[in-house]
Amino acid sequence: MLQKIIVWFIQFSPSTKRWFWKKWYTVFANRAQNPDFKFMNYGFSEDGFFPELHTEDELERYPIHLYHHVVSQINVTGKTILEIGSGRGGGASYVSRYLKPSSVVGMDISESAVELCQSIHSVDTLSFSVGDSENIPFDDHSFDVVLNVESSHCYGNVDQFLSEVNRVLKPGGHFLWCDLRPSDGQDDVFNQFEKAGFSLLQKCDITSNILSALSQMTESRKKAIRETVPRFIQNVFESYAGVEGSKVYDSFQDGSLVYLSAALSKKK
């Protein structure tokens, strides 16, 4: 019942959707402050895809895989990167430490999430900032790359978000994206990209890779939820985490949800 109420509230209007997700990520940041927990995405698993990681990063290998898959679509060495929806900052930290951009800014709408990131990540080329995806607080043509991982489905106005991404990108800059969408609406997002002034370089349906990663992470995610979340809301957190048997997992499995990744360039 609680899940149904939340779904109804999110879908009521763009403003309620935006408000809910800001509050959700704030609660999540305040409730789960374990510094070893740096990612919130669904992960990525593929045979033969196994980038070398430092020992301290092995705990969250599959969420790291998702970032590596998305960002390695282009060469980001020496580039300036803005991540929109940086969450707990693990992805921005990974990109900064392993893929050698000149700088990474992680931006999130939740002040609590940004404060948490600032307390647990210390990388010379990495910083964090509070900001709204639909009103990005940076000047025109500020970044070579904008990165957006599993976040845009939370936004009230995706067209406005894409307009802002285009604005802050340098001419010829790249937009690297992945997220879930209803299977019957997946074409809409690529039409939105085109309308916003982006050229599609490549796209991929990675739903099977997401399912594989979620299956491998289910046990550890359920354990973490049981240890940190009140019992009455554990099923909501499990669905959010995409564990086996959750509505999200089942929707990927039955094909009603798909997970897509893409690399795009700003039209010159």
Helix (H, G, I), strand (E, B) or coil at 239: helix
Q: Is the dihedral of CA 202, 143, 163, 266 positive or negative?
A: negative
What percent of the chain is predicted at pLDDT more than 70?
A: 86
Top pLDDT among 263 and 111 is at 263
pLDDT band (50, 70, 90) for residue 122: very high
User: Which of the four pLDDT bands, split at 50, 70 and 90, describes residue 25?
Assistant: low
- Average pLDDT of the residues of the chain: 88
Q: What is the pLDDT of residue 10?
A: 38
Q: What is the mean pLDDT of residues 216-238?
A: 84
Domains of the chain: total: 1
How would you class 77 by CB atoms within 10 Å of its CB: exposed for 0-12, middle for 13-18, buried for 19 or more? exposed
Region of 127 on the Ramachandran plot (φ > 0 left; ψ -120 to 50 alpha; else beta): beta
Residues 198-223 have a mean pLDDT of 96
Tell me the pLDDT band of 23, cut-offs 50, 70 and 90: low
**Sorting pLDDT into bands at 50, 70 and 90, what band is 8?**
very low
pLDDT of residue 210 exceeding 50, the answer is yes
- Angle at the Cα of 118 (from 112 to 119), degrees rounded to 5? 90
Q: Are 66 and 42 within 8 A, CB to CB?
A: yes
Task: Please determine, for residue 247, whether its predicted confidence score (pLDDT) is greater than 70.
Answer: yes
Give the confidence band of 237 by pLDDT, cuts at 50, 70, 90: confident
SS3 content of the chain, % helix, strand, coil (to 5): 50, 20, 30
The DSSP code for 132 is B
The confidence score (pLDDT) of residue 228 equals 74
Q: What CATH number is attached to the domain comprising 153?
A: 3.40.50.150
Q: Provide the residue range defining the domain that includes 105.
A: 2-266
Least confident span in 3-7, 150-154, 263-267 = 3-7
